[in-house]
Every structure is written in structure tokens, then in C-alpha cells.
Amino acid sequence: MKGKVLQLLNNADDYISGEEISNKLGVSRTAIWKVMNQLRDKGYEIESVTRKGYRLLSSPDILNEAEIKYDLKSKLIGKKVITFDSIDSTNKYGKKIALEGEEEGTVIISEEQKAGKGRRGRNWVSPPREGIWMSIILRPNTAPENASMITLVAGLAVCKAIREITSLEAMIKWPNDIVINGKKICGLLTEMNSEIDFINFVIVGIGINVNISKFPSELKEIATSLLLEGNGPYNRKIIVKRTIELFEDYYNTYLKTEDLTNIIDEYNDYCININRKVQVISKKENILGTVKNVTKKGELIVTNSNGDDMIVTSGEVSVRGLYGYV
Amino acid sequence: MKGKVLQLLNNADDYISGEEISNKLGVSRTAIWKVMNQLRDKGYEIESVTRKGYRLLSSPDILNEAEIKYDLKSKLIGKKVITFDSIDSTNKYGKKIALEGEEEGTVIISEEQKAGKGRRGRNWVSPPREGIWMSIILRPNTAPENASMITLVAGLAVCKAIREITSLEAMIKWPNDIVINGKKICGLLTEMNSEIDFINFVIVGIGINVNISKFPSELKEIATSLLLEGNGPYNRKIIVKRTIELFEDYYNTYLKTEDLTNIIDEYNDYCININRKVQVISKKENILGTVKNVTKKGELIVTNSNGDDMIVTSGEVSVRGLYGYV
């Protein structure tokens, strides 16, 4: 009910009368009046003028379905948005509902994660209302070996959304981080459920440190937030929406060729690893080299000390920068 | 309780006294006597002789944990066996408990599947007590792109187990069927849950048509059973145990090199596709060719009409025999 009233307020160019709302939703004007007060309690500024009706002046930075879907330009991604005040992990919830048949495009967002996860089960700090903790369910019609490129697609979308909204120089650290001034601002966790030659579903987890003002001491050197780097606080809603829209565009482009052909130039422009020294760490050996570029298949090309090019896939190695986190 | 008594009976070289059983299990001799009668009701032939005790003469073909684990030579696979009289799908159950943390090696078996699944959600007929419907949970320490080879490892194990026990000429139809006389006797369904470069878990589903005496008309031409092809009925327990033991051996061999280096010769010996004409069906085109061999990475090498070799991965194409199902 709150969501529907909010949608009407958002869609109205000017005032909308209590009568119109009560007709559209089939409830009494007293019920509408109660909902308005509930919304005010949640931080919405709603003006009410006799004979004119209600008008929304400002919205708090709350991530609910109505707020995210309002004027969202995407078609598939975000067609359904499931939001939580608190959850253990949005990726875990996504896996659960995807197993039960949840459709492609559904977005899960929580104001807080109690047990947010990074790669390989590492912890991911996700304090309430200070970041964007979301997961997207995908069912791409491509072979499982092409799924790892979706992390790069998502990285590009987040990087560009941050740049557009904050003007900060966000860069992609291949394959699954976004950094600003050498510190991590966003991590991506892509998980797949597949048969040998068929993808059942992919979950893309996106964690963006938006308005976090303080990190625990063990993270201070490697993690940062948009607030700490720029002129925040930033409106998370706007970042969520722009990320979803850009992700849908890049994802569709990727699906057409089933690789990164049409977006790899832009990716390489934003990739911080290019021309940097890296250590390629595999089970067998550690090799020093310089990053040349990322290929349209999403692999990293690293030139070793003999001048030979190596192809590095994220499935084979870890890549560590030699100078600090980046 | 029935399981524990059965274990003691199975482990006894000769008679075992009611007193010994009641001491070992800490229950009364009257309770033991009741359990013996319950076991007899289930088809176990148990002799009881005054002053000597009980002796197991024969077991019915029931797939329960005690029966499967008795004298099982494997270490990891089958360390835990979960059995059901009926379930929707053993793979589905396996995925569920693996998500919750179930350990590597756990085997799930059901006497019947109500909604057994083949590849891409196709139905898999799994009538009660007439076949082996099982799933194995694995957590291999290898990259996701190596997981598809596990289907080939399982195929080799099933093929060899059938050959040893029935002397029938089972052959592997790459990548995931076992056939006898040109008809399907076993299907494999490998499902994976992974991060971009890390396998959370793999479920290997194995369906073997053991004592099925009649197939629905739409399957008659393409499916068969050990009973219809050989001198059955066959004891399913023995096939389950041998399959588990062989699978563990081949799986460990595969893990050592993270490919099929040490088992590919044996695989090619049993692979029915070799030297046969096939149609390679991809999204882009259909190509006729002749199968040369399977590589140590699990790919099919197909020579086209120009004499050029193509590498076919199961992720890219379907392979159809030109002459009937095989």
C-alpha cells in the first residue's frame, strides 16, 4: 500500500488529490491520510494543501521497490525488485529463489547484510544504509565458459555509473573490483549454477561502499567509500538505478556476440591494471609481468620478462599488484 | 536400529548371538528379536538357531545405507549415504544440502524419483526399485572450467562397473550417456555451483536402468536396461558399490593432473563415437564429420570433410550420430 501511494506521488507532475488516490487504489481517504503519515515517519517530505491534495517534496534515501522502479529506464533488469531491511546475504537469497525458479532480471537489495560474502567465502562488510548491497539474477543463453565475462560487464556498468554520478575517477581492477585512488570502492561476486553445457542461472552480487564514513582498521588501507573520496553523501537510489540501466545495456551488448567485442575498448580505458607490473600467482609458479590489455574473451594479457605474452584467465590465477592493493 | 543390526549380521563370519548383539547395541534381546522380524518382513532371510544365534542367509535388493556401506572399499565417496524410498530428484536434494554445507563424498540414493531430471530439465524415468538413481556431492579443488571432465570420469566408472558385473559390452557415448547395443542404459547429469574461479560444489547425477522390464513406447527405441540386454535381474547394490569404488579411483586420478591424462586411453577404448560419423550442431552451423578421439581435456576431435580437425567441447555443441540414437 505504501509502495502504491508512493508510486502515484512520484508519477504526479504536481499535486494529486486524496480523492484521486482513493479512487485509483480503492481505499478510503482516511486510509490514504494514514499512509501519508506513515511515509512522513519514514522521512518522506509530503506537502498537503486543502483543495489541491498531496505533493511529494523529497524522498529519504531508502532502497525500496517503488523508489527504485520509479522512472527506471531498463526493461529486464529490475522488472522485479525485492528489498530487505536486513538479510544474511543477498547472493545467498538470490541463489535460493533462483533454484526455485525466480525469473531473469530480478534484483535483490538489502539495507544491511549480516553475513555479506566476498569471493571464496570471505567476509564483506555491509553496514546498514551506508552502501548498496545487491544481487541480480540472470539466465543468459550462452555456454557456461562465457559466464565469467559477466563479472567484467557488471564492473564496467558500476564504474561508469560511479563516474557519471560522482565525477570521481573510478577504475576497474580486473576481474572483479572497482577502485578509487588505489582503494576498493566496490566488489563483485558472480556465482553460477550450471549443467555441463547449460547455464541454469547466474547471480551477480554487487557491493558498493557509498556513504561509509569509517572502516575497521584492518580495511582502512585497502577500502574506501564514495563519501570518503568525494563530495557526498551520495543518494544510493540514483546509483542503484543508473547501475541497473547501464548493466542492462552492456549485458545485452555482451549477449549479442557472447563476448566483449563491442565493449572491450571502453573496458580497457577504465582498467587500472594496464601497463602495470603484476605478479601472476598460480598453483605451479609465480611470474612477474606487465599487463598489456584485456581481450574480448575477458582474459588478461601479461608480458613476461622475456617479452612473451601470457594469457591469464581468472580461473587460473590470482593477480596481485606489486605496489599496494592496486 | 535396523541398520545397526544389519551391519552386525553382515560383518559376522558365522552366527552372532542375540546376547552379543544386545550387548553391542545396548538394547534388550526382545528388542533384537523384534528387529529380526522387521527385517524378515522386508525380505531379509535370517536363520535363527538355538544357542548359536542369528545368521544372515540373503538380503533383498534394497538400497539402504547399511547395505551400501558394508565392505565398501572407497574412502571418500560413500562415507555418508543418504537413502530415500521416494524423492522428487536426487540431484535437486543434493544441490539443496550442498548449499547448506554438506561435505564432499556424500551419496544420495532413492528407490524412486517422482521428478527425475535429465539434461536441460528433460524428464528422466525412474521407476521404483528398478534402477539406480543416485547423486554424488563433490567439492573438487580445481578451476570451474575443469569441472565438465567429471562427467567423463563418472561415465568411465559406470561403464566399467557394468562391464565387470554383467559382462555386457557397455560403451560410453560422449559426453554423458552409457549405451548397450545402441541404446541408452545410463545417463549422467553433472551440475555445478561456482564462483568465477572457484567451485563451490559439483553434483554428479547417475541414472542406471538396471531391472526395468518395460519402457514407454516413446523410449523403447532409444532406451534399454541391463535386464533387457543381459541375464538379469541384477543386484543393484553390487552395481552401486562398484560404481562408487571405481568413481573414487578415477576421480582421484583426475584430481592429480586436473585433467584426463592418465585415463583418456581407457576412455577412448570404451567410447562408441570413435571413427563414427557425427553431425556437430552449434548455434551457427551444422557440420558433418568423423570422430577421431577424445582429448585429455575431454574435448571431441572431429575431422570434417576437408580433412581438418575441429575441437568440439560439450559446452559448444550437440553431437548427434547419423545412424539412430548412437
Of residues B144, B191, B200, nearest to A195 (C-beta): B191
Give pLDDT, residue A80. 97
Rg of chain B over all Cα atoms, to the nearest angstrom: 22
**Per this entry, what is the length of chain B?**
326
Residue A21: HSE in the Cβ half-sphere, 13 Å Cα cutoff: 29
- Please check whether residue A97 is in contact with residue A137, taking contact to mean a CB–CB distance below 8 angstroms: yes
Give pLDDT, residue A324. 65
Give pLDDT, residue B324. 65
Give, to the nearest 10 degrees, the angle between helix A2-11 and helix A18-25.
Answer: 130
Query: Do the chains contact at B192 and A315, CB–CB below 8 Å?
Result: no
* CATH class belonging to B277-321: mainly beta
Q: Looking at beta carbons, which residues of chain B come within 8 Å of A198?
A: 119-120
Give pLDDT, residue B325. 67
Give pLDDT, residue B10. 84
Q: Is A275 on the interface with B (CB under 8 A)?
A: no
The pTM for the full model equals 0.82
Instruction: Report whether pLDDT(A314) > 90.
Output: no
Confidence of residue A177 (pLDDT cuts 50, 70, 90): very high
Pick from B99, B196, B280 the residue to mutate for testing the A interface (most A CBs within 10 Å). B196
DSSP state of A16: B
Give pLDDT, residue A10. 84
Q: Is A200 on the interface with B (CB under 8 A)?
A: yes
Q: Looking at beta carbons, which residues of chain A come within 8 Å of B148?
A: 144, 196-197
Q: Is B194 on the interface with A (CB under 8 A)?
A: yes
Confidence of residue A59 (pLDDT cuts 50, 70, 90): confident
Q: How many other C-beta atoms can be found within 10 angstroms of the C-beta atom of residue A129?
A: 14
* CATH class belonging to A2-58: mainly alpha
What ranges in B42-123 are assigned the alpha helix state H?
A: 65-69, 90-99
Instruction: Report whether pLDDT(A206) > 70.
Output: yes
Q: Considering only CA atoms, which of A294, A194, A296, A301 is closest in space to residue A254?
A: A296
Instruction: Answer with the residue of higher pLDDT: A236 or B317.
Output: A236
Q: How far is A315 from chain B (nearest CA, A)?
A: 4
The per-residue b/e assignment along A140-162, b for 16 or more CB within 10 angstroms, e otherwise, is: bebbbbbbbbbbbbbbbbbbbbb
Q: Rounded to the nearest 5°, which phi and psi values hold at B144?
A: -55, -35
CATH of domain A65-270: 3.30.930.10
Q: Is A120 on the interface with B (CB under 8 A)?
A: yes
Give pLDDT, residue A105. 98
Q: Please name the amino acid found at residue A184.
A: K
Q: Is B100 on the interface with A (CB under 8 A)?
A: no
* A222 vs A178: CA distance, rounded Å: 12
Question: Average pLDDT by consecutive 10-residue portion of chain B (326 residues)?
Answer: 84 90 93 92 90 90 91 96 96 93 97 91 89 98 92 98 97 95 95 91 98 90 93 92 98 97 98 92 84 96 93 77 67
Pick from B150, B176, B197 the residue to mutate for testing the A interface (most A CBs within 10 Å). B197
Query: Do the chains contact at A120 and B195, CB–CB below 8 Å?
Result: yes
Q: Looking at beta carbons, which residues of chain B come within 8 Å of A194?
A: 191-192, 194
Please write the tens of the pLDDT for every residue from A5-46.
988 898 888 999 999 999 999 999 999 999 999 989 888 899
Q: Is B284 on the interface with A (CB under 8 A)?
A: no
Q: Looking at beta carbons, which residues of chain A come within 8 Å of B191?
A: 193-195, 200
Mean pLDDT over each residue of chain A, to the nearest integer:
92
**Per this entry, what is the length of chain A?**
326
Instruction: Answer with the residue of higher pLDDT: A104 or A214.
Output: A104
Q: Looking at beta carbons, which residues of chain A come within 8 Å of B176?
A: 196
Q: Looking at beta carbons, which residues of chain A come within 8 Å of B94?
A: none
Q: Looking at beta carbons, which residues of chain B come within 8 Å of A96?
A: 99
The residue in chain A having the minimum alpha-carbon distance to the alpha carbon of residue B197 is: A315
Query: Do the chains contact at A313 and B145, CB–CB below 8 Å?
Result: yes
ipTM over 0.85: no
Give pLDDT, residue A72. 96
Is the preceding peptide bond at B128 cis, omega within 30 degrees of 0? no
Q: Looking at beta carbons, which residues of chain B come within 8 Å of A95?
A: 99, 193
- Residue-range domain boundaries for chain B: 2-58, 65-270, 277-321
DSSP B147-210: TTHHHHHHHHHHHHHHHHHH----EEETTTEEEETTEEEEEEEEEEEEETTEEEEEEEEEEEE-
The per-residue b/e assignment along B288-311, b for 16 or more CB within 10 angstroms, e otherwise, is: ebbbbbbbebbbbbbeeeeeeebe
Q: Distance from first CA to last CA of chain B, Å, rounded?
A: 47
Rg of chain A over all Cα atoms, to the nearest angstrom: 22
A-B contacts at Cβ under 8 angstroms: 80
Q: Is A151 on the interface with B (CB under 8 A)?
A: yes
Is the preceding peptide bond at A128 cis, omega within 30 degrees of 0? no
Instruction: Answer with the residue of higher pLDDT: B3 or A292.
Output: A292
Query: Do the chains contact at B197 and A316, CB–CB below 8 Å?
Result: yes
Q: Looking at beta carbons, which residues of chain A come within 8 Å of B189?
A: 195
- Please check whether residue B137 is in contact with residue B116, taking contact to mean a CB–CB distance below 8 angstroms: no
Pick from A196, A200, A300 the residue to mutate for testing the B interface (most B CBs within 10 Å). A196
- Please check whether residue A226 is in contact with residue A210, taking contact to mean a CB–CB distance below 8 angstroms: yes
Give pLDDT, residue A282. 78
Of residues A95, A190, A195, nearest to B196 (C-beta): A190
Enter the C-alpha cell of residue A45.
517530505
Give pLDDT, residue B145. 87
